[in-house]
Chains A and B, each alone.
Chain A
Amino acid sequence: MTVSTEPEKPGAKPAERKKKKFLYVNRKAPYGTIYALETLEVVLIGAAFDQDVSLAFLDDGVFQLAKGQDTKGIGMKNFSNTYRALGDFGVTKFYVEKESLQARGLTIDDLQSITYEDEKDGFKEKPSILPVNRAELTKLMSEQDVVLTF
């Protein structure tokens, strides 16, 4: 984890504080363990603090975004729709590792479509899911102020 090199001025008003880059790393499949659901809760809380938030999905984490999840048979809450709502909270960067998809016989088309409205660009609808390779994700991780891995 890299810590921001610019120290915050004592007594700085929230507006003057520098936004920090937060990356939430998702590595677990949904439903078998509680990690995926709990990460969503943490992301939603973090989003309320107006920081620069990104999500990464690698390893079994890519299954969190799988299309067509139906939890009726297991009596658990289907939280897959919540990912589509994150755009309204300013969470619009979902980096998905291509190598992890490939190892699991998946392609981007097996994931649900997630978009957001870009207010800086006439509220145009843009994709939130950004496929990246391992090297790109490595670089992204190194550029963060805070990395939280689940």
Chain B
Amino acid sequence: MLHTVNKSPFETTTLQSCLAHVSKGDAVLLIEDGVLGALKGTVVSGDIWSKRVDVEFYVLGPDASARGLTKERMIDGIGLIDYGGFVDLAAKHKRSQAWL
């Protein structure tokens, strides 16, 4: 399953809810305001860190760049992908679930 999250984790509980419902082998892609969840050293970064063994995390690069987020500012191990990478992820996983 590919999960996409498009809300800021500082404003809604969308990311937390997504993370509470992921299975081993799933992928979580942060898009739009959701990319803010990829920042290191925040009040929510521990939630992603604790799931990193079972779940692959990705950030949509164009959305991160728009908000001034660079790779160095992100939690280690998060994959930075472009729109083509988004398509690849959607094709690789049987289903996708958009957390809004």
Q: How far is the CB of B94 from chain A (nearest CB, A)?
A: 28
For chain B, the bracket of interface size reads 20 to 34
- Pair B8/A32 contact, Cβ less than 8 Å: yes
A63-B66 in contact given A73-B61, A103-B10 (Cβ < 8 Å) = no
- Pair A60/B10 contact, Cβ less than 8 Å: yes
Which DSSP category, helix, strand, loop or mixed, fits chain A's interface?
Answer: loop
- Pair B70/A68 contact, Cβ less than 8 Å: yes
Query: Complex: how many Å from CA A60 to CA B39?
Result: 13
Residues from chain A with a CB closer than 8 A to the CB of B6 are 32
- The one of A72, A104, A110 that contacts B36, using a Cβ cutoff of 8 Å: A104
Residue pairs across A and B with Cβ atoms less than 8 A apart, 29 shown, are A29-B11, A29-B33, A29-B36, A29-B67, A30-B66, A31-B32, A31-B33, A31-B66, A31-B67, A32-B6, A32-B33, A63-B36, A63-B67, A66-B67, A66-B68, A67-B68, A69-B66, A69-B67, A69-B68, A73-B61, A73-B63, A73-B66, A73-B82, A74-B66, A104-B36, A104-B42, A105-B41, A106-B39, A110-B68
